[in-house]
């Protein structure tokens, strides 16, 4: 899969939720993790049994205006708003940073304004931030990870796996004499 992605939170306050999202970001091979206006330190992330802090960079920004992303990286807010794109209809940017809101709150108005895109998971009600992170990152993997179409039949039968590419002899135009 080409590109990269980061995962972040806006105003998170529960150590177990932070740890869960950090662990999920690490499991899906995020390039970095960030927090905006956190109510706790990234080192407080409980339930991160993967020890993500030793494997990927962590950034903390005191307020939304301080947020800095790599050049060309698109900020994708995950939030239930009327104008948000439903996740199954969303085309993930190759270079993206996904930001999730805090417990019991939404993304701050400043963070929402900074987002290039806002997506929502089509559920009946709000779900845990870690679960939302897993769903969004799995959708990214399925969308951009080079997986072919799903099988027609139940159990994986009927799907054709493309053959590995085989390099042939160089193509050359015949010389004119």
> So what's the pLDDT on residue 170?
72
pTM of the model as a whole: 0.82
pLDDT of residue 69: 96
Per-residue pLDDT of the chain (177 residues; tens, 9 = 90+): 678 999 999 988 777 777 788 889 988 989 999 999 877 666 665 555 556 567 788 888 999 999 999 999 999 999 999 999 999 999 999 999 999 997 777 899 999 999 999 999 999 888 888 899 999 999 999 988 877 777 766 666 555 556 676 777 777 777 776
pLDDT of residue 161: 59
Confidence at residue 162, expressed as pLDDT on a 0 to 100 scale: 61
pLDDT score for 6: 96
Let me know if 152 is exposed, middle or buried by CB neighbors in 10 A (0-12, 13-18, 19+).
exposed
Rounding to the nearest 10 degrees, give the CA dihedral for residues 133, 27, 161, 89.
Answer: 10
Closest CA to 114 of 83, 74, 87, 85: 74
- Write the CA distances from 123 to 76, 86, 135, 169, 171, integer angstroms: 18, 10, 11, 52, 52
Q: What is the DSSP string of 68-134?
A: ---TTPEEEEE---TTPEEGGG----SEEEEEEEPTTS---HHHHHH-SEEEE---SS---HHHHHH
């Amino acid at each position: 899969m080409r590109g990269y992605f980061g995962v972040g939170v806006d105003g998170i306050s529960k150590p177990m939720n932070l740890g869960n999202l950090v662990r999920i970001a690490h499991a899906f091979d995020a390039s970095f993790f960030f927090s905006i206006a956190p109510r706790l330190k990234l080192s407080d992330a409980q339930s991160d049994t993967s020890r993500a802090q030793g494997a990927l960079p962590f950034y903390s920004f005191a307020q939304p205006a301080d947020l800095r992303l790599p050049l060309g990286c698109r900020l994708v807010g995950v939030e239930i708003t009327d104008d948000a794109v439903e996740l199954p209809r969303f085309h993930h940017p190759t270079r993206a940073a996904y930001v999730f809101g805090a417990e019991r709150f939404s993304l701050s108005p400043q963070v929402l304004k900074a987002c290039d895109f806002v997506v929502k998971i089509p559920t009946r009600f709000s779900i845990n931030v870690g679960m939302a992170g897993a769903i969004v990152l799995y959708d990214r993997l399925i969308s951009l990870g080079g997986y072919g179409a799903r099988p027609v039949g139940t159990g994986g039968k009927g799907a054709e796996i493309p053959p590995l590419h085989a390099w042939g002899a160089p193509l050359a135009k015949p010389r004119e004499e």
